[in-house]
Amino acid sequence: MPLDPAAIKHLLEGRRAGAEALIGKTLPAEFPSTDELGGFLPIQLHRMLADPAKRGWTARLIMSTATGEVIGHAGFHGPPDVIGRAEIGYTVFTPFRGRGYAKETAAALARWAFEQGEREVYATISPDNAPSLAIVRGLGFTQTGTQMDEVDGLELVFVLRADEQS
């Protein structure tokens, strides 16, 4: 489910109830975190407003098809022509972890990017994030290098290529 820019504005302004009313869902208590308020959400909002036609390349909410609950958020770091590549990101909220939602989400994001004509999809992960490393490796991503992120520190860089899909 797309994360509405107006809902993000409400969250950034501390008006959680307004955000929930706009999206028609209750948000888990852990969202948004201080880190998300300080970086992820403002960046996503800026990219959404800068080019509304590329809205599919920004943040989405992950919904449980069984219950309709918001169980996480995912999307791309931004449009490939803005950030230089199709790079996925995903967060499954604590009560919903360990059920395969992150792997399903990452696979769906990669498929969507390939459907848009991208030939490669990237993921960057902390070397200490064993669950996420298992997810991307299980989906066939291969490590291509490392990078230093100014916020997250050392990250391993993974790529999944469209021509390597079965």
Q: What angle do CA 13, 17, 19 make, to 5 degrees?
A: 65
The answer to whether the CB of 61 falls within 8 A of the CB of 23 is yes
Query: What residue ranges define each of the domains in the chain, with the CATH number in brackets?
Result: 5-164 (3.40.630.30)
User: Measured in whole angstroms, how far is the alpha carbon of residue 165 from the centre of its chain?
Assistant: 21
Query: How much is the pTM?
Result: 0.92
Task: Encode burial over 76-96: b for 16+ CB neighbours within 10 A, e otherwise.
Answer: bbbbbeeeebbbbbbbbbeeb
Ordered per-residue pLDDT tens for the chain, 166 residues: 999 999 999 999 999 999 999 999 999 999 999 889 988 899 999 999 999 999 999 999 999 999 999 999 999 999 999 999 999 999 999 999 999 999 999 999 999 999 999 999 999 999 999 999 999 999 999 999 999 988 788 999 999 999 986 5
What secondary structure letter does DSSP report for 25?
A: S
The answer to whether the CB of 61 falls within 8 A of the CB of 51 is no
CB-CB neighbours of 47 under 10 Å: 23
**If 0-12 CB within 10 Å is exposed, 13-18 middle and 19+ buried, where does residue 106 land?**
buried
Q: What are phi and psi of 113, to 5 degrees?
A: -60, -40
